[in-house]
Amino acid sequence: RASKPKEVSGVLLGWDPSNTAPYGLLEADLRVLSKVAATLPSEFLEHFEVHGVDGRRASKIVKVYLENDRPLVLETIIAPTSCLAGLVMKDHRHDNIYKIIEVGYQARIARITQRVRVRTATEEEAMALQIGRNSHILAVDRILFGGRSAVAVIRLAYPDLDRGFIEEARSPLGTAGISR
């Protein structure tokens, strides 16, 4: 039985991926912290249409970008196995998720939406970012669509709010239009 994804709350920014550089963190040192098969977390169900129990199987990839050995941003990628099978087997040290989808899966990213908010870090985020458990982070969720439905969510967590806002404002995403 299919369940309809819930409408995402808050303002979503949308842009055309064909003229967007996905990251401005080219100088940062990238480390892949984990690549696992997981159950799709309930907080991500709003983005995906799930069919039965098997529809909740997902890939979860966690990476950290470092500057002088200091965590700059934590990236978590969640993708249902039904959309991107074998994603945990891909080399995430050299290719970002955009390139993996378009080259590795021969699939076009039709559009991307983004939600930006300030929130308290989760325990996993706090540990990876080397910050206190109740610290605030800039959380950016980028939802990648391969047509009418989402195929992956990228969650970026910036421990330095000022740096995070500057990075987001400087990127092409900061000038994106509002998507309804």
Partnered with residue 66 across adjacent β-strands are 29, 71
pLDDT tens digits along 30-65: 899 999 998 888 878 877 877 666 778 999 999 999
Q: What six digits make up the tokens of 55? A: 């529809």
> What is the structure's pLDDT at 61?
96
CA 164/CA 174 separation, integer angstroms: 12
pLDDT band at 2 (very low <50, low <70, confident <90, very high): very low
Size of the chain, expressed as the number of residues it contains = 180
CA 152/CA 97 separation, integer angstroms: 9
**Which amino acid appears at position 80 of this protein?**
P
> What is the structure's pLDDT at 162?
84
Lowest-pLDDT range, 48-52, 86-90, 118-122?
48-52
Other CB atoms closer than 10 Å to residue 18's CB: what's the count?
A: 10
Mean pLDDT estimate for the chain:
81
